Amino acid sequence: MEKYNLKGKAVIITGASAGLGEQFAHAFAEAGANVVLAARRQELLRKVANDISSKYGVQALPIQTDVSKESDIISLVDKTSEEFGTVDVLVNNAGMYVVKPLIEQTLDDWNIVMSVNLTSAFLASREVAKVMIPKKTGSIINISSTFGFGGTEFEEIGYYTSKGGLVTMTKALAVELGKYNIRVNAIAPGFFPTSMSIGAMEDDAIRKRLIEPRTALPMLAKNEWIRGAVCFLASDDARYITGHTLAVDGGWLAY
């Protein structure tokens, strides 16, 4: 990430113990930022933090956080401000899904997906806005999904709805916070081989029927290919971009 100079920036990443969240942490650290890693799995968080600190020479602060709890999110932002004096970038990456047919989905299923995927992003954005508004600068990046633009054969109604909500929340926050020079954008990843989607990618039938026919490029994704997008949106190269959702999907949404 030598193209992007984010040296000294303080970046919060939720869902940072594995998957794309871990990739985002590496991306920012490589660009010189100090990263705050938030997730529930403390042991994994510490491992990622130690790896990043030793590899890039930046500060990597692991904070055990349950993003479904308002108090945890408030504490996360407070601890970041105490440690680094500010919050420059927030990446709302935490996510989950429940796969069940609609008629079997319970209200608890719906509520937990909304809480983790959508409500947590609202709460974290609200809290960092309190830090960013007085200094009149900042970047919020919401991690949506190509599934936020329509359904597929996978029966996960809460996931689709929450990710679509993130696209609209991104626009609404961009309009509201723009006057403070706070930019709000989103990334819509396609299929990346994380623990959330590797099962589908390794299923020959699903890959050949659903994934490959809608992938315009002649290869499937590697996890590290998401890194440039998040650094770009956080950098001055994107200083006049807000309210936008950037698809990183190999052409999935082009179909």
Q: Which residues are catalytic?
A: 159
How far is the C-alpha of 148 from the C-alpha of 168, rounded, in Å? 10
* Contact in structure between 165 and 118 (CB atoms under 8 Å): yes
How far is the C-alpha of 85 from the C-alpha of 242, rounded, in Å? 25
How far is the C-alpha of 165 from the C-alpha of 180, rounded, in Å? 23
CA-wise closest residue to 14 among 4, 25, 6: 25
**Locate tokens 């002649």: which residue?**
218
One-letter amino acid at 91 equals V
